[in-house]
Amino acid sequence: MLAPGGAIAVWTYNLLRGTPAISALVDRLAREISGAYWPPERRWVDEEYRTLPFPFPEVEAPVFEHTESWDLHRLVAYFRTWSANVRYQAATGKDPIAEIAPELAAAWGDPEETRTLTWPIYMRAGRL
């Protein structure tokens, strides 16, 4: 229940960032390869919630990010959870991740080595 004098915050995270080469491949997978298979409301994430209807007086929200240390196998498993990649594969019969796999392996190096990956988090906050 929303109560007068309370606060509300909505947040989302966007595409992970790694090295410049890894980030470029993530963007290619998410936008060029399987991009047409994201649901339409995904646009709000891409717009960092700036255009999300928000009928509350806004207050400045802090900047957040989430950081993980993953190996290449975990990253690829994560890509397989993306709804756009699942839809792409169902529609085309092709694995979208296979399209970037050789370049991703080259950019990553030793697949057992962990790398730092960061997800930017976007928030809008307001008062009720």
Task: Summarize pLDDT for 67-122 with one digit per residue, the tens.
Answer: 999 999 999 999 999 999 999 999 999 999 999 999 999 999 999 999 999 999 99
Give CA separation, 82 vs 15, 35, 48, 53, 54, in Å: 11, 11, 18, 25, 26
Give all domains of the chain, ordered by start, each with its CATH number: 7-127 (3.40.50.150)
Closest CA to 30 of 44, 13, 15: 15
Give CA separation, 93 vs 86, 90, 120, in Å: 10, 6, 31
User: Cα–chain-centroid distance for residue 103?
Assistant: 20
Q: How confident is the model at residue 3 (pLDDT cuts 50, 70, 90)?
A: confident
Tell me the C-alpha distance between 60 and 82, whole Å. Answer: 30
Q: Which tens digit of pLDDT belongs to each residue from 8-65?
A: 999 999 999 999 999 999 999 999 999 999 999 999 999 999 999 999 999 999 999 9
pTM here is: 0.90
